[in-house]
Each structure stands twice: as C-alpha cells, then as structure tokens.
Amino acid sequence: MLQSSGGPHGSHNTMNERYRIGAFARLTGITVRTLHHYDRIGLLRPQGRSDARYRLYGDRELMRLQQIVTLKALGFDLATIGRMLDDERFDIGRALDAQIAMLEERREGIEKIVEAMRAARESLRLAPSLRSERFVRAIQGTLMMNQIDYGKHFTPEQLRALGERSLGETEQANITAAWNTLFSDIAAAENVDPASVQAQALLERWESLVAAFTQNDPSMERSLASFYADETNRTKVAAATPQMPKAWRFVERARIAREAAR
C-alpha cells in the first residue's frame, strides 16, 4: 500500500514517504472520492504515479491538503482556495500563522459561549425572569458564532490583522456607543432630504467609523464592501443588528445624493 523513498522509521514516519491514494486517504481521513475530485479540478494533484498507474502522494501534497482542509473549514470555497494556494506569493508559514490566529479567535468565541451556557445552567435555581435572560444570552451567542461567515470575503491575512488589533474595554465601549448613537440619529432622520446638511453629516459619521475599521486600507475596504454586498451576510447582520437595514438604506440614499451634487 505504501512505497517508501527512504527514511529509517518505516511506515510510522510520514517524511519521505509516497502513498498510494487508498493509504493517503486512510492517513488523512479524506475519502478517495474527494481526492479524485480534487485531482480532477486541479486543486490537489498527486506527485506522480506508480508503475501500476496508482496515484502517489507525498509530503508536499500532505502540506497542501492541510491548507485545503483548514481554509475550507474557515469558510473559503474550493475555487478561492485554489487561487490562494497557486498564487506565487503564497507562503505556507505566514498562512499557518494567520490560520492559527483565526482559530484562536474562534476558540475565544466558543469559550464565551461556554461561559454563557454555564451561566444558563447555574441560573436554573434563579427566578424565571433572570433565568430567561441568561438562556437568551446563550442562544444569541451561539447564533452569532455560527451565522456570520467572514472567511468568504476577507483573506487570512486581513482576518489575522483584525484579530491582532488590541482594543481596550474603554475603546471598544466607545466604538459601540458611537455606532449605537449613529443608528439612533439615522432613525430619527429617516425622512429628511438625503442631500440635506443633516443627512450628509450622518453619512460622514458613518464613513468615519468605517474608516476606523478598515484603517483606510483599500484592500480591506474592498473586502468589507464584498462582505456587505453578499445578500446572505446582509440578512444575518440584520438579524443580529436590527437597526442596520434602515441605516444602510439611509446611507446609500445620502451617498447617491452626494454623487449627484458633484
């Protein structure tokens, strides 16, 4: 099942080994059918074939498969993964660093959900009103973790950069308060003329908060625009932030009015 090209450790050492497709499938947990599909679409080619025409896989394919599996788990589609891995600028070391950062961020999110669930478990002895509040928090935390997919629109490097931003509790609270105040002010101005001074001032506040998030990075701005252009994401964000749909529509009308006046 296994053809070795060297190494003193026999079948227990994956280094310098060449695996037939069945052995490679058992080693990695990926089905033969999936490996055939990846070969067919050019995502994961075998390094060669045996004299009997069996596909052979080695260390290079093992590393590439690890990237495919990880990026797929982070929400990237196969076509995007292929483009990323085939890019001559792709660096597996940097990619692993970015993926570690993203997975650690997810772990932090999961830990928060666990804390909420533990609080819900402990709340069973509390009054019904307090008990309900904790269960609602546990539900909302789980839904937020699972519903919004950023990996489809942001690169691993961008997500890593976002994850590495260090915001203190006060700074994060100020940002949240600024958005909430803006949402309230937009709701109050819903029927004003989009070209008015008031509407344009609200648009400027919106763009200022967005610029603080993207840090005026054009690639980050494009990724953010792509994220919000995705109807599925817009629906999920709206479910998590009910004020957002009206605010989006207001800002878009104000932006159109500004362009028309130029």
Residues 62-78 have a mean pLDDT of 84
Tokens 């908060």 belong to 209
Q: What size, in residues, is the chain?
A: 262
Task: Return the pLDDT at 126.
Answer: 55
DSSP string across 159-220: HHHHHH----HHHHHHHHHHHHHHHHHHHHTTTS-TTSHHHHHHHHHHHHHHHHHHTT-HHH
Q: What is the pLDDT of residues 179-229, one digit of tens each?
A: 888 888 999 998 899 999 999 999 999 999 888 888 888 888 888 888 877
**Model confidence over 134-190: pLDDT tens digits?**
555 554 554 454 455 666 777 777 777 776 666 666 776 778 788 888 888 999 998
The helix/strand/coil state of 156 is helix
> Mean pLDDT across the stretch 42-50?
91
d(C-alpha 160, C-alpha 96), whole Å: 11
Q: What is the pLDDT of residues 3-27, one digit of tens each?
A: 434 333 333 344 457 889 999 998 8
Question: Using an 8 Å Cβ cutoff, are 39 and 45 in contact?
Answer: yes
Q: With the CA atoms of 90, 96, 99 and 103 taken in that order, what torsion angle do they form, in degrees rounded to the nearest 10?
A: 170
